[in-house]
Structure 1
Amino acid sequence: MSLAISTAPKTLVDFIPNTTERSRRIARDAALVASFAVFTAILAQVKISLGFTPVPITGQTLAVMLSGAALGWRRGALSMGVYWLAGMVMPFAWYAGGKHGWDAASGTTAGYLLGFVVAAAFVGYLAEKGQDRIVATSIPAMLAGNAIVYVLGMAWLSHKLDVPMVDGEKTALSLGVTPFLAGDLFKT
């Protein structure tokens, strides 16, 4: 019986050689986290406005799921937290639609931004458990990540717009989830 500890890479970035020096490890992790925050900001600029909802179709959810799968749960969640916080202070287009600042970070889409953090952590956790290695497990992991974004986004949208979550003609579900299902299935 072997008591050896497996050192197999948990996520994609774990294939990048690590260093034994603590300062270099921290610098490497900070660069990875910042890179995915910027990647998310770039994909946020890929935007399709639908007109009937304040929430646009963007490439952000693709970046969110990839950050979790590639970075793992800690760095993935941190990269989305950095994305959210950086958008509050950046003096230029950061969020979808060229928005930035506190109003954009806490407005109708704030629930989705919180969902990005939670979804990246969830997908990252599953990736660390090997659920990103084959299509049969990676697709459900990404769909679950999208569901997290939807639930938190829909809840906040309902609060901000003072509309019901699901019951009625104009709902958070019809404004903030249904229009995006096909696009997110494609991105998954």
Structure 2
Amino acid sequence: MSTKIESKAISLSDVGPKLEEQSLLVQTIGVLLGVAILGLLAQVKVYLPFTPVPVTGQTFGVVLISAMMGKKLGPVTSILYVLAGAFGAPIYAGGASGWAVLSGATAGYLVGFPISAWIVGSLAERGWTKSFFKCLATMMIGLLPIFVLGVAWLTYRMGFILAIGVGLIPFLPGAAVKTLLATAILQVPFKNANR
């Protein structure tokens, strides 16, 4: 008796649809793992001398995780991340936590995470992460609500011109690198052996 093993290449963007088909326990583990990864990526930070908002790995994590987890589990992961930090888990940038962070300079960006996650997850489920350029567009579109809400909140606190100067322009080069990196990671194929 011989067993035939079929091998095909899949990418990380194929994970989400398969995760949603799993048991609630497996989905919960996936979401909690996503929250932990976001918390770790938040510790990757660079403070720029001219802005109160640090450059972190959070936005990279939001778009990457959401592309893999889809429009349901991606936003759940982002919401749980924001709530866990608000309730005291030291998972925001620099190990910060608490409700005060949600009224500080980074509040708008954090509020944008679940919206971004839903957009990226929705586009990923429509197959936009299968090709390099559509995936790149998905990552860029996904960052829009984060930047729009982040700048809107900073505008409320310090005015529009200053908000653009300290809350958007300094982050555009990093956003470009993050979108390219997330796209490259999602495009890497690996072998999947099916029996």
TM-score, scaled relative to structure 1? 0.83
Structure 2 counterpart of 1:54, which letter? P
Deviation track 1:122-173 (CA, whole Å, cap 9, x = no partner) reads 00000000001111100011001112110011001111x2x2224xxxx111
Partner of 2:134: 137
Q: Which 4+ runs in 1 deviate beyond 6 A?
A: none
- Corresponding residue number in structure 1 for 2:84: 86
- C-alpha displacement at 1:27, in angstroms? 1.2
Letter in 1 for 2:56: T
How many pairs align?
Answer: 167
Report the TM-score when normalising by structure 2: 0.81
Match of 1:110 in 2: 107
Q: Which runs of 5+ in 1 are unaligned?
A: 1-9, 20-24
Please say if 1:121 is aligned against 2:92.
no
- Per the TM alignment, residue 14 of structure 1 is displaced from its structure 2 partner at its CA by 3.0
Residue 52 (1) aligns with residue 50 (2): yes
Given candidates 64, 69, 73, the residue that maps to 1:75 is 73
Q: Which amino acid aligns with 1:179?
A: P
Residues 1:164 and 2:164 are matched in the alignment: no
- Which of these residues, 3, 13, 16, is aligned with residue 13 of structure 1? 16
Report the AA paired with residue 15 of structure 2. Answer: L
Distance 1:119 1:88 in 2: 19
Q: RCO greater where, 1 or 2, for CA within 8 Å and sep 6 or more?
A: 2
Which consecutive unaligned segments of at least 5 residues does structure 2 have? 1-12, 180-195
Contact 2:128 2:135 (8 Å CA) reproduced: yes
CA distance in 2, matches of 1:94, 1:138: 28
2: distance between equivalents of 1:13 and 1:150? 25
The answer (yes or no) to whether the contact 1:87–1:105 under 8 Å persists in 2 is no
The structure-2 alpha-carbon separation of the partners of 1:165 and 1:11, relative to structure 1 and needing over 3 Å to count, comes to: farther
1:173 aligns with one of 164, 169, 177: 164
Do 1:87 and 1:101's aligned partners in 2 also have CA atoms closer than 8 Å? yes
What secondary structure sits across from 1:69 in the alignment? helix
Is the contact made by 2:151 and 2:167 (CA closer than 8 Å) also made in structure 1?
yes
Distance in 2 between residues matched to 1:33 and 1:126, nearest whole Å = 19
1:90-134 deviation digits (Å, cap 9, x = unpaired): 35x310022111101332211101111100110000000000111
Counterpart code for 2:159? P
- The structure that is strand-richer by fraction is 2
